Structure 1
Amino acid sequence: MWDDVGSGELEVLSPPQCLELLGSVTVGRLGFTQGALPVIWPTDFLLHGEQVVIGTGRGGEWTAATAGSLSVVAFQADRLDERGRALWSVLVVGQARLMLACPALSGWADAKGRCIVIDIVKIQGRRFAHCH
């Protein structure tokens, strides 16, 4: 993805810049392992402080992201231009946990109030200054 932006300049983003950009979009991709195989699913989300929150009424596949005591996941979001080229991309690595009630997010999470919360451990991002 980084090689097809023409003659654009690549800017490495600071963690605060990454959080600001992450908070400006509502769709990303959750990556985790299920049965020792990688799984990546698109999903809507909210940024709540330094946590990524994904409302989930979904079953087994999504709960696999939070199985075990050390459920390390990846989460990625980006913004594309009108030609489908990335203008910026942010990648989060963190520990995921399933919460059966998300009272602070009750207006957004599914009717049962369950959500996956990713505590951000590492965040990095890149932005393209001039996409041609």
Structure 2
Amino acid sequence: MRLLSTTPIGRIVFTDRALPAVQPVNFCLHHGDIVIRTNAGSKLAAATRHAVVAFEADDFDLRTRTGWSVTAVGRARAASDPDEITRLAALPLTPWAPGQRDHYIIVTAEQLSGRRLHR
């Protein structure tokens, strides 16, 4: 989780029409959960409601051939409590994509794995 906190971009893996889908997202950690901000009408929002998802983030240095990758697997849920949404809106999580992004997806990691690459 410490490594995840060092990068703002990751990839969420979810199911879209019975097939695996991967989408890059910006995110932040909040009390050990992965928080993603998106549009309420997006495929990502619909596909991750109470679903098991994977989340991956990494950081690599091509010159030195070093880096790390972390994968989290857990259940995703949509924030629905107004107080929770207010707290999440105060996080340093500014969407990169244009448009209204007032829907929060919270992924609670149940499994974590990762690896480091060293020379």
Q: TM-score range by the shorter chain?
A: 0.7 to 0.9
Tell me whether 1:74 sits opposite 2:54 in the alignment. yes
Percent of counterpart pairs with the same letter? 37
The letter of the residue matching 1:121 is: E
Instruction: Give the TM-score of the pair, scaled to structure 1.
Output: 0.73
The one of 88, 112, 115 equivalent to 2:68 is 88
Extract structure 1 runs of 4+ deviating beyond 6 A.
Answer: none
Report how many residues are paired: 110
Q: Name the TM-score, length of structure 2 as normaliser.
A: 0.80
Query: Is the 8 Å Cα contact of residues 51 and 117 (structure 1) preserved in structure 2?
Result: yes
Q: Which of 79, 99, 103 matches 1:99?
A: 79
Q: Which has the higher strand share?
A: 2
Are 1:120 and 2:104 an aligned pair? no
- Residue ranges of structure 1 left out of the alignment (5+ in a row): 1-18
Please give the alpha-carbon distance, in whole angstroms, between the structure 1 residues aligned to 2:67 and 2:101: 36
CA contact (8 A) 2:77 2:107 kept: yes
Alignment of 1:1-132 (within 5 A): 19-57=1-39, 59-67=41-49, 69=50, 71-83=51-63, 87-100=67-80, 101=82, 102-107=85-90, 108=93, 113-130=102-119
Which amino acid counterpart does residue 78 of structure 2 have in structure 1? L
* Structure 2 unmatched runs, 5+: none
| Aligned-pair Cα RMSD in Å | 2.2
